[in-house]
Structure formats: C-alpha cells, structure tokens
Amino acid sequence: MPAFSLWSLLVSTFAFFIGIFYIRRFLDEQGIPKGMTRGMLTFVLAALLSWGAGAAAGWAESVLETPQEEQSQP
C-alpha cells in the first residue's frame, strides 16, 4: 500500500494555498508588518497545515481501501 497518492497530493496542495490566503489575511488584521519573518511564519504554518491535510487524506484513503472483515452469521 503506497504511503503517497495523487489524492493526498491534491488535498495538500489546495490546503497550502487556502492556508496561505487565510494566514495572510489574519496577519493583516493583526497589523503585523510585511517582511521576512512574517513571510517565513506564513510559509511554515501553511506547510504544516498542508502536511496535516495530506496525511489525513492518506489515512482516510487507506481506511477506505482496506477490506472490511465480513461478519459471519451463526
């Protein structure tokens, strides 16, 4: 069973860009000036969000692919 799939790549990519948008918006509302530190903070937080979303998508896909044990009727 592969640990990496196209589904988790797509989910993590979308999560990254959505995360970038909302993190930048939040930092703008807080009045934090643009600069190198803010850019790195935005990137790291969006990368962590993306990694988590990709891992969750991979886990969900592996759960859906595993065959369920049939319950035997006595």
- Domains: count for the chain: 1
* 69 in any annotated domain: no
* 31 in any annotated domain: yes
> Which range of residues forms the domain containing residue 35?
6-57
Q: Indicate the pTM of the whole model.
A: 0.78
Q: Are 54 and 8 in contact (CB under 8 A)?
A: yes
User: What is the C-alpha to C-alpha distance for residues 64 and 25, in angstroms, rounded to an integer?
Assistant: 35
The total number of residues written for the chain in this structure: 74
User: What is the C-alpha to C-alpha distance for residues 57 and 15, in angstroms, rounded to an integer?
Assistant: 11
Comparison of pLDDT for 71 and 38, the residue scoring more: 38
Q: At what angle do helices 36-65 and 6-30 cross, to 10 degrees?
A: 150
Task: Retrieve residue 53's tokens.
Answer: 């979303």
* 21 in any annotated domain: yes
* 15 in any annotated domain: yes
- 9-56 residue pLDDT tens: 999 999 999 999 999 999 999 999 999 999 999 999 999 999 999 999
